[in-house]
Structure formats: C-alpha cells, structure tokens
Amino acid sequence: MPNVLIVEDDESIAQLLDFMLQRQGYGVEICRDGRAAEQRIVTGPVPALVLMDVMLPYKDGFELIALLRRQLGWGDVPVLMLSAKSHEPDIVRALEAGSTGYVVKPFQPKEVLARVKQLIGAQA
C-alpha cells in the first residue's frame, strides 16, 4: 500500500490520522515539527501523499511545501494542507504555494480519508 507522510505537531490529530490511514492499509510516517519534516523531505523516500499542517514549530507548511517542490521526485506528490486558518487568503496562499488541496480544522475524518483516496488514486 502507498505511504503517507504526516507533518503535524498536534499529537491528537497526528494519532487520529495515523490510526485512520493504517486501518485503510496505508503506511504512515509522522514528523512532529518543521525541522523533522525538512530532514525527512531532504533525505527520505518520496511518499505517495503528504498531509501537512500549516502552522508548525521551526518551519511552517509554506516553507516546507516550497522545499519539497524543489526536491527531485517530489514535484508531483500531492500535498493536502490541514489548517485552522479558514480565511480565503490563507487557502489561496496554500494553493499558490503548491498545495494540492486544503482542509480546515477541525475536519471530518471521513472527508480527509476520501480526499486521501482521491489524491493517491489520481497518481496511479
């Protein structure tokens, strides 16, 4: 099954996403802050999908998406941004930065799962 990289500093949200995705058979890797995510993006294998919070310690989601889009092999990886920021300028900024989609927190788990399946299926 495809691997999903979760970049989320909120423990409960990371655990929920991890549980939900593993139940569906996805491999999951979690980075808890921007520095860990930066290291993972630069050195790790390319995942099928990235679920990324916007507001993270050390480096935010916008910095990370710019970094991953510059990495060899990462250009077409779908990135679903998760954020408590629900204002249109924030959503537009994320999409313009290279995000494939944007989900406002608190989110509905089934909606996120449906988006994950859609985005990973679109790659196949």
pLDDT, tens digit (0-9, with 9 covering 90-100), for 50-104? 999 999 999 999 999 999 999 999 999 999 999 998 999 999 999 999 999 999 9
pLDDT of 123:
63
pLDDT at 124 > cutoff 60 = no
Q: Looking at residues 28-55, what average pLDDT do you find?
A: 97
Specify the higher pLDDT residue, 29 or 86.
29
- Confidence (pTM): 0.95
Vertex 35: Cα angle to 30 and 36 (nearest 5): 30
**Spatial CA neighbour of 76 closest among 7, 122, 18, 34:** 122
